A = this chain, B = another copy of it.
Amino acid sequence: MPEIKKINHIAVAVNDIEEALPFWQEALGLKLDHTENVPSQKASVAFLPVGESEIELVQPTSPDTGTAKFLAERGPGMHHLCFEVDDIEGMLAQLKAKGVRLINETPLDLEGRRMAFVHPKSTGGVLVELYQFI
């Protein structure tokens, strides 16, 4: 049985990372691990570890992304929740068997990990991402 190991990250959609960072970094005191440009997501992302998880501040670099549309429609805020799983293909098969709608029916291969999104229509409004590190 595929298993969820932990929350990998909570992604927060932001209009501007430099404007968003002071709350997380200076006021809450989280450490900024690094900021990077992620071309596959058309976004700049700031990574702030907290316990075994991370807060990711996601600033879209193109208006044709889901995050950019989310910002335009709802404003900044929590965008998605990412779980780390031990077997992403097994988890996608299990979700499908339960009638859950997937955004990615097969995992996307990124550097060092495989990922897929589950459609919020099937989760009760939460955009859920799954990661498996390889």
Number of interface residues of A (CB under 8 A): 44
- Neighbour of A124 across the interface among B2, B4, B20, B83, CB < 8 A: B20
- Neighbour of A3 across the interface among B19, B29, B57, B100, CB < 8 A: B29
Given A4-B28, A22-B98, A23-B123, 15 further pairs, Cβ under 8 A: A6-B50, A6-B51, A7-B50, A10-B81, A12-B125, A13-B125, A23-B124, A28-B95, A51-B52, A53-B53, A76-B124, A76-B125, A77-B120, A77-B124, A77-B126
Q: A53-B7, A126-B78 are in contact. Are A1 and B23 (CB under 8 A)?
A: no
A63 at the interface (CB under 8 A from B): no
A75 at the interface (CB under 8 A from B): yes
In the bound complex, how far is the Cα of B121 from the Cα of A76, in angstroms?
10
Q: In terms of DSSP, what is the predominant structure of the interface of chain A? A: mixed
Counting every copy of the chain, the complex holds 2
Across the two chains, which residue of chain B brings its CB closest to A13? B125
Residues of A within 8 A of B (CB): 1-7, 10, 12-14, 19-20, 22-23, 26-30, 50-53, 57, 74-78, 81, 83, 91, 94-95, 98, 100, 120, 122-126, 128
